[in-house]
Every structure is written in structure tokens, then in C-alpha cells.
């Protein structure tokens, strides 16, 4: 079987690639767990000085897999737990993390991309909190990561109206750090990766710790609030309708129940 993520040590760089291109790298619980384990291990490895996240094919990630993943089961609290573990690992690891967004970053895929320290997107990419379209709320820390970057009003637009944010607008808002023409994307990702990997490792680690303390001090509390809310929403008729309409490729008809 093709592994769902690829983990490669490339000199001082740990490269993690989400590797389900046929499903636009939609996350399963197993994928998120493997990615979290890789980032956690990197945090204990002095030979790793930068971490890069990317998606194979034409997407960063389409979010949680609503088609059933490896087991045929829908996302549940185990999926949220695995996603939260990855988000915390990305923020806690002392190395700088770069997300190379070469296509859509949707749902919890958006959350993962925004949890990186440096988020580089090609011009054709976009960011989308599509949770409400299937009767859910944002998770993966998005209810803190997004407003911390762009403010409450824009976060509401993304979360309640599920507005797609093109990469150029995301950079203008301050949601991401870089937007790059598609044909220059790979070169710019490598340039920034080399700069991070050969920079002052200890200074980067202490800077990241301080930025976490000042801008994301309630991340763990936020993840817990999202988990409780999402666990309740998984039991609703609206979520069932959202999944059915997604699979049938039609607009959902929500009842509010």
C-alpha cells in the first residue's frame, strides 16, 4: 500500500508530505497521528533544524475525510484528538515549521497550514473553513488561529459564511506569511527552508516560545472547547445531512436539529 504520509530526513530538514493525492490529501485519524508522531520525534532530534509540511498532488489537504477513510467510519472525536495532537506538536516543537501550501487548504487542513510558523502558498491556492457546510464548527485550533491573525470579523466570514480566501487575499489579511507565483513556488519554498534550517536554532526556538506565549496563550483551552462542541455536533441531524449532501454532491438542507 502507498503510505498515507511520507516522512523524509533531508539534511537538517524533516519533510512531511500528506500522500493521498487521489483524495486531495483528505485526513484520516491515522494520517494525523502519524504526522503528529513525526513532528514530536523531530522536537527531540538535534539533527532536525526545520520541519516542512506539504501535500502531494494538487492540494495541501481537503480536510477530514468524509468518504470514510481507511475504515469506512466518519470523523469522530478520535479524529479531533489526533488533529489536536498534531496542532500542539507543531506549536510546541522548537524547530521552525514551514507549511508549503500548493493548492487548497480546507477544513482542518486549513488549521494545520495556519499552525505552522511560516505558511507559504502558491497564487492558485486558497484557504477555506468549510465546516459549517457539513453542519460542524471549526476545529484544529482554527477558532483561535484565525482571529489571532486576521481579527474577529474576518474569522466570522470564514467560519460562518464559509468564504474561500484566495492566497493573495490571505497574505494581504495577514493570515499567511508568503504568496508566490505558481511557477516560482518550489524555488521559494526551498529558499525559505534553507534559511530556516541554517539559521540560529536556539534563537528561533526561544522566539517561537515567546510568540506562542504572547499570541496563542489559550490554544490548549481552545482545542478543548472545540472538541466539546464538535462532539455534540457529530450527533446532530444537520451533520448527517451535511455528510449525505457532500457524498451526493448537492446542497445540504439543514433543519437546525
DSSP string, 159-213: HHS---EEHHHHHHHTSSSEEE-GGGHHHHHHHHHHHHHTS-HHHHHHHHHHHHH
Has residue 84 been placed in a domain?
A: yes
**What's the domain count of the chain?**
1
User: Distance between CA 129 and CA 120 in Å, rounded?
Assistant: 18
Looking at residue 179, its pLDDT comes to: 98
Looking at residue 69, its pLDDT comes to: 54
Quote the pTM value. Answer: 0.96
Has residue 239 been placed in a domain?
A: no
Has residue 115 been placed in a domain?
A: yes
Q: Tens of pLDDT along the chain (257 residues)?
A: 899 999 999 999 999 999 999 999 999 999 999 999 999 999 999 999 999 999 999 999 999 998 865 556 778 999 999 999 999 999 999 999 999 999 999 999 999 999 999 999 999 999 999 999 999 999 999 999 999 999 999 999 999 999 999 999 999 999 999 999 999 999 999 999 999 999 999 999 999 999 999 999 999 999 999 999 999 999 999 999 999 999 899 999 999 99
Query: Which CATH number do you get for residue 28?
Result: 3.90.226.10
What is the extent of the structural domain holding 16?
Answer: 5-179
Has residue 138 been placed in a domain?
A: yes
CB contact set of 131 (below 8 Å; sequence gap of 6+): 107, 137, 138, 139, 159, 162
Looking at residue 74, its pLDDT comes to: 78
User: Distance between CA 148 and CA 106 in Å, rounded?
Assistant: 18
Looking at residue 42, its pLDDT comes to: 98
Has residue 81 been placed in a domain?
A: yes
Is 59 strand, coil or helix? coil
Has residue 10 been placed in a domain?
A: yes
Has residue 131 been placed in a domain?
A: yes
Has residue 196 been placed in a domain?
A: no
Amino acid at each position: 500500500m502507498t503510505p498515507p504520509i511520507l516522512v523524509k530526513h533531508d539534511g537538517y530538514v524533516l519533510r512531511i508530505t500528506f500522500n493521498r493525492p487521489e483524495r486531495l490529501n483528505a485526513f484520516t485519524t491515522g494520517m494525523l497521528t502519524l504526522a503528529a508522531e513525526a513532528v514530536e520525534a523531530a522536537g527531540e532530534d538535534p539533527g532536525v533544524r526545520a520541519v516542512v509540511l506539504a501535500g502531494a498532488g494538487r492540494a495541501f489537504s481537503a480536510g477530514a475525510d468524509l468518504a470514510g477513510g481507511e475504515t469506512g467510519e466518519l470523523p469522530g472525536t478520535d479524529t479531533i484528538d489526533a488533529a489536536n495532537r498534531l496542532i500542539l506538536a507543531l506549536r510546541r516543537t522548537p524547530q521552525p515549521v514551514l507549511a508549503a501550501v500548493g493548492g487548497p487548504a480546507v477544513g482542518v487542513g486549513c488549521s494545520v497550514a495556519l499552525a505552522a510558523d511560516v505558511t507559504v502558498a502558491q497564487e492558485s491556492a486558497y484557504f477555506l473553513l468549510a465546516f459549517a457546510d457539513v453542519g460542524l464548527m471549526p476545529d484544529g485550533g482554527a477558532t483561535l488561529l484565525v482571529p489571532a491573525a486576521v481579527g474577529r470579523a474576518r474569522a466570522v466570514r470564514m467560519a460562518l459564511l464559509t468564504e474561500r480566501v484566495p492566497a493573495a487575499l490571505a497574505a494581504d489579511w495577514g493570515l499567511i506569511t508568503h504568496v508566490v507565483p505558481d511557477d516560482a513556488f518550489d524555488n521559494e519554498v526551498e529558499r525559505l527552508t534553507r534559511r530556516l534550517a541554517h539559521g540560529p536554532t536556539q534563537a528561533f526556538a526561544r522566539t517561537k516560545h515567546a510568540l506562542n506565549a504572547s499570541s496563542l496563550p489559550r490554544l490548549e483551552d481552545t482545542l478543548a472547547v472545540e472538541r466539546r462542541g464538535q462532539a455534540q455536533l457529530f450527533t446532530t441531524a444537520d451533520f448527517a445531512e451535511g455528510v449525505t449532501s457532500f457524498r451526493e454532491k448537492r446542497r445540504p438542507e439543514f433543519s437546525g436539529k
